[in-house]
Amino acid sequence: MKQEIYLDELKKDDFPDPIYIVREGSGFLEQHSHPYAVKALVTEGQIDITIGGIKSTYLAGDAFELTAGQLHSENYGGKGVKYLASRKGAVLQEELGLESIEGVEPSISA
């Protein structure tokens, strides 16, 4: 998916501007959930998301969505992953201390 289409879909679905997330290579997050829905677009690298025992792999250009409260785990490819993520729901991005972006500059890394 092209970034322009992703951003148009966010607006259509009333999601806020996305933030840019950078995750180090071979990292992971154990099973967890978020109190907000997520719409994301991978810009570089690879992320594997496992939901209900089913692993899905997302590469640059792939989009993924998570519903609020959806249990999942995350694994990042050997070279890590960079992705745009918009969060909508109980907790706003501003409350998380994350910045909205207009371009594709990283605003956080972990």
For each of the domains in the chain, give its residue range(s) and CATH number, in order of start.
Answer: 3-96 (2.60.120.10)
Residue 89 banded pLDDT, cuts 50, 70, 90: confident
Question: Tokens in use for 87?
Answer: 């969060």
67 pLDDT more than 70:
yes
Which of 21-25, 75-79, 89-93 is least confident? 89-93
Q: Are 24 and 110 in contact (CB under 8 A)?
A: yes
Question: Tokens in use for 28?
Answer: 């992971």
**Rounded CA separation 79/88 (Å):** 28
What share of the chain has pLDDT > 90, as a percent? 80
**Residue count (the chain):** 110
Dihedral, CA of residue 39, residue 43, residue 45 and residue 50, to nearest 10: 10
Residue 34 banded pLDDT, cuts 50, 70, 90: very high
